[in-house]
Chain A
Amino acid sequence: MLDQIGFPLIITLKIAGLSTLIVAITGMIISYILARRDFKGKWLADVLVTLPLVLPPTVTGYLLVVLLGKNGVLGSILYSLTGWSIVFTWQAAVIAAFVVSLPLMVKTTTAAIEAVDREYEYAAFTLGRKELDTALFITLPLAKKGILAGIVLSFARAVGEFGATLMFAGNIPGRTNTMSISIYSAFQAGNNDLANMLVVILIVMSLLSMAITAKIINDWKI
């Protein structure tokens, strides 16, 4: 039983942790560009980033297979070059988690950056600081509450990811059976004890992360 809990817990934390790290970095870059730049096709970029939020996760998973599967548009190139396919690997689960949680990060962080008064940035420019410098030391620190909220939401979404992961990474015991997928499997197999344990662990994890986030945000004065 410990094995049946241990592996899903570790693989879930690994997948959600890695995907959240990538989401946080790419999300901040995309959000800054969306909040502070005006360019042709901005609305399209916004729609593309937001799409996984409104699409059923199974559709997102299916599109990922079509794009990155062994016979997929990009996946076939990867397969012909390396003889390796990403489908049904833990890396595939990271990609699935990344795609579904990115919109949450981008939406939250874009709103937070937009709320930062531009005069702070202009003040930094007049003091000789370049845009990148200003973004890193003025804009993002002033938007940190929104950014943290985005990171927590993205992590929670990655931990809870089910549909796209199942389509793209499968449910392979010892490889891609994350907590959410393991709960479904245990429930299907009638192993209610295991399902209960996994559910309790997930609930405790969620409550803990919420409490820690609330504490951090409360402690930040700005």
Chain B
Amino acid sequence: MGIKADFRKRYYRDKNDKKKGVEAAFTLDAQFEVGDELVVFFGRSGSGKTTALQCISGLLEPNGGKIVVNGDVYFDCHKRINLPVQKRSLGYVFQSYALFPHMDVKKNIAYGLKGWNEKDKEERVDEMLQMLEIKGLENNFPSQLSGGQKQRVALARALAPKPSILLLDEPFSALDRVVRMKLREKIKEIQRELKIPVLFITHNHVEAFTIADKIVIFHDGRVQQIGTSEDVFYHPKNEHVAELVGLTNIFEDSMLVDEDEMAGTITIGCEHMKVTANRPDCDIKEKISWGIRPENMRILPLTDKNSSEENTFPALVKSIVNKGSSKVLALSVKEHSKLLIAEIGNQSFENMDIKTEDECLIRIERDRIVLF
């Protein structure tokens, strides 16, 4: 059935500001509709993701609007409905896990099973231990568990009462890469099995794109774009989304210089650079914003024979950062104020033998340019 949400939440610097009519310091304006799928709330810290999740859970009361989950009205400002958090039938996994430190794993998992008879409770706890692969840990206290185990217990506890919606607030932020990957798969598996809406907050874009059926992008308290990973990744709606999905090189308000309908290309003037991009299907505006990912920039030696090819510019290497499997270069193009960031593999980097303050050529791959 999914979630239909359209609500607002305002935060004031001082609790008397609201009465005095002072403008809110932060306003979340969330509008989205998602189904029984794995939905990732993606955005920077302070963009409103957690606030949105807390409003859906009932831990925060919105200032206006409506939230409907699986056909049940959780909140309706006009009808003065605000279902208490206890009655929302939800599973919530906190960033800090929030496992009760004075209870062992078994008691933590069984805590949400109030009213169940002892036999059913035992069976359900056992089922959860098996599902999350934590059998054998039932008598351990949270302080005796590793980060990954704590996360599994937190998931088991949230899922034990058979919730109709699962909310996860940056659940993997404190875990190492290997554990993260395993748990991501587990969450996907759980969602497929239970077929309930799962809302998952993250600010890690790799995590967002590997796990999501749908992504809701938040920026500055507003939902910027909703779509599949591919939609958001390849067709960002604006510069905020573009930046979030890894288009580090963003050029806002560049001028359209030329249009070649035969070749299906357009030329964009960006300070002293003239860049050729594929012509978009939609109408073209005078001012165009565009971006390119660092990994889609090519670095060539100054002596390269194809130096006059399209989108190729001489540049100066300003810095080189080793990322382990690749190198990230900051480059300045002549008479262009903005530094461009390029990422190249270790092998190509070694072949070229370039150092800081060396001159080289950069090529912006036309097919990889993203217009928005």
A residues contacting B by CB (< 8 A) are: 117, 119-120, 122-130, 133, 138, 141-142, 221-222
Chain B's closest residue to A131 (CB) is B86
| Contact for A122 among B91, B98, B101, B114, CB less than 8 A | B98
| Contact for B102 among A119, A123, A142, CB less than 8 A | A142
| Chain A hits for B86, CB < 8 A | 125, 128-130
Query: Can you list 24 A-B pairs, Cβ within 8 angstroms, ordered by A?
Result: A117-B96, A119-B94, A119-B96, A120-B98, A122-B85, A122-B98, A123-B157, A124-B111, A125-B58, A125-B59, A126-B85, A126-B90, A126-B91, A126-B92, A127-B157, A127-B158, A128-B86, A128-B87, A129-B86, A129-B111, A133-B114, A221-B143, A222-B141, A222-B143
B57 at the binding interface (Cβ < 8 Å): yes
| Chain A hits for B26, CB < 8 A | none
B residues contacting A by CB (< 8 A) are: 57-59, 85-88, 90-92, 94, 96, 98, 100-102, 111-112, 114, 141, 143, 157-158, 161
Interface of B is mostly: loop
Chain A's closest residue to B157 (CB) is A127
| Chain B hits for A124, CB < 8 A | 100, 111
Chain A's closest residue to B101 (CB) is A222
A36 vs B57: C-alpha distance in the bound complex, in angstroms? 20
| Contact for B85 among A125, A138, A141, A221, CB less than 8 A | A125
A40 vs B72: C-alpha distance in the bound complex, in angstroms? 34
| B94-A127 in contact (CB<8A) | no
Chain A's closest residue to B160 (CB) is A127
Chain B's closest residue to A38 (CB) is B15
| Chain B hits for A122, CB < 8 A | 59, 85, 92, 94, 98
| Chain A hits for B98, CB < 8 A | 117, 119-120, 122-123
A31 vs B210: C-alpha distance in the bound complex, in angstroms? 47
Chain B's closest residue to A130 (CB) is B86
A-B contact count (CB 8 A): 58
Chain B's closest residue to A142 (CB) is B102
| B112-A127 in contact (CB<8A) | yes
Chain A's closest residue to B111 (CB) is A127
A217 vs B20: C-alpha distance in the bound complex, in angstroms? 48
| B143-A123 in contact (CB<8A) | no
The answer to whether A126 and B158 touch (CB under 8 A), given A119-B96, A142-B102, A222-B102, is: yes
| Chain B hits for A138, CB < 8 A | 100
| Chain B hits for A117, CB < 8 A | 96, 98
| Contact for B100 among A123, A126, A130, A221, CB less than 8 A | A123
Chain A's closest residue to B92 (CB) is A126
| Chain A hits for B90, CB < 8 A | 126
Known: A122-B94, A126-B90, A138-B100. 12 other contacts (CB 8 A): A119-B94, A119-B98, A122-B92, A123-B100, A125-B85, A128-B87, A128-B114, A129-B112, A129-B114, A130-B86, A142-B102, A222-B143
| Chain A hits for B88, CB < 8 A | 126
| B94-A123 in contact (CB<8A) | yes
A195 vs B94: C-alpha distance in the bound complex, in angstroms? 59
A127 vs B90: C-alpha distance in the bound complex, in angstroms? 7
| B114-A123 in contact (CB<8A) | no
| Chain A hits for B94, CB < 8 A | 119, 122-123
| A128-B101 in contact (CB<8A) | no
| Contact for A128 among B102, B141, B161, CB less than 8 A | B161
| B161-A127 in contact (CB<8A) | yes
Chain A's closest residue to B143 (CB) is A221
